[in-house]
Amino acid sequence: MIIELFRKRDEQAIAELKMKYDKLCTYVAGNILSRREDVEECVNSAYFDIWGKIPPEIPNDLKTYLCRIVKNKAIDRLKYNSADKRSAQLTVSLDELAECIPDRADEELSAAQLAEAISSFLRTQDEKHRKVFVRRYWYGDSLARIAELYSMNEKTVATYLFRTREKLRVYLRKEGFDHE
C-alpha cells in the first residue's frame, strides 16, 4: 500500500512510512549514532531519499530497502562526526566481518554480486544462526543485546558468529571472492 502511494506521488506515503517504520529506523540509526539529533536527521533524510527514488525504483522489500538507506546514512554521519573514528561497537562488528569479506571485490565481481552471494549464503543457514548474524552485522547489536533477545549466553552468541563467519568465508571463496 505504501509503495502504491509513492507511485501515485501521494505525500501520505511519507506519513504512512513513518508511522510503520519510524521505530525500526530510529533503532537502526541509534545503534550507530549516539546523538538523538543525528539519528532523527538520518531517518528524515532517508525518508526524503525514498521519496526521490520511488518511482522509478520499486523495491521488493520496502522495510529492507529503507533500513539499508538509514544504515548507510548513519554510517556516513558517523564518519562525518568523528573524522572516520567509528564507535567501538561498530568498529568491532565491522572488523569481525572484515575477516571473511574481501575489502575490494575483484573487478569482474561487483559489490551487488557480493551482496547477493552473502544473501544466498544466509538463506542456507538455520534460522537462529541467520538471525544472530543479521542482528550483529545489519542492526549493529551488541553481543549482550543479541544474547538477551534470543535467551542465549554471550559466549554462545560469539561462537555462533565465529562459526557463521568461517562458513561465509568458505562459501565466498567457492563463489570466487578471495579474501587474501
CATH classification of the domain holding 145: 1.10.10.10
pLDDT of residue 121: 92
pLDDT of residue 138: 82
Residues 94 and 166 in one domain: yes
Residues 127 and 64 in one domain: no
Residues 117 and 135 in one domain: yes
Task: Inform me whether the pLDDT recorded for 124 exceeds 90.
Answer: yes
pLDDT of residue 113: 79
Task: Inform me whether the pLDDT recorded for 105 exceeds 70.
Answer: no
33 within domain boundaries? yes
Model confidence band, residue 86 (pLDDT cutoffs 50, 70, 90) = very low
Check residues 123 and 101 and name the one with the higher pLDDT: 123
160 within domain boundaries? yes
Say how far apart CA 146 and CA 96 lie, in whole Å. 16
Domain stop point among 18, 50, 85 = 85
Check residues 113 and 102 and name the one with the higher pLDDT: 113
pLDDT of residue 84: 46
pLDDT of residue 97: 73
Say how far apart CA 133 and CA 149 lie, in whole Å. 13
161 three-state secondary structure = helix
Which domain, by its residues, includes 170? 89-174
* CATH number, domain containing residue 79: 1.10.1740.10
Check residues 45 and 104 and name the one with the higher pLDDT: 45
Number of domains in the chain: 2
Residues 81 and 113 in one domain: no
pLDDT of residue 77: 87
102 within domain boundaries? yes
Task: Inform me whether the pLDDT recorded for 23 exceeds 90.
Answer: yes
Alpha-carbon torsion (54, 120, 146, 158), positive or negative? negative
Say how far apart CA 74 and CA 19 lie, in whole Å. 20
CB-CB neighbours of 169 under 10 Å? 16
pTM of the model: 0.58
Domain stop point among 59, 85, 111 = 85
Task: Inform me whether the pLDDT recorded for 100 exceeds 80.
Answer: no
Q: What is the mean pLDDT of residues 79-93?
A: 59
154 within domain boundaries? yes
pLDDT of residue 117: 87
Task: Inform me whether the pLDDT recorded for 108 exceeds 50.
Answer: no
What DSSP state is assigned to residue 150?
Answer: T
180 within domain boundaries? no
Element (H, E) at 23: helix 12-30
Task: Inform me whether the pLDDT recorded for 64 exceeds 60.
Answer: yes
179 within domain boundaries? no
66 within domain boundaries? yes
Residue with the three cell numbers 534470543: 150
Model confidence band, residue 103 (pLDDT cutoffs 50, 70, 90) = low
Say how far apart CA 122 and CA 116 lie, in whole Å. 10
Residues 12 and 53 in one domain: yes
Say how far apart CA 177 and CA 104 lie, in whole Å. 9
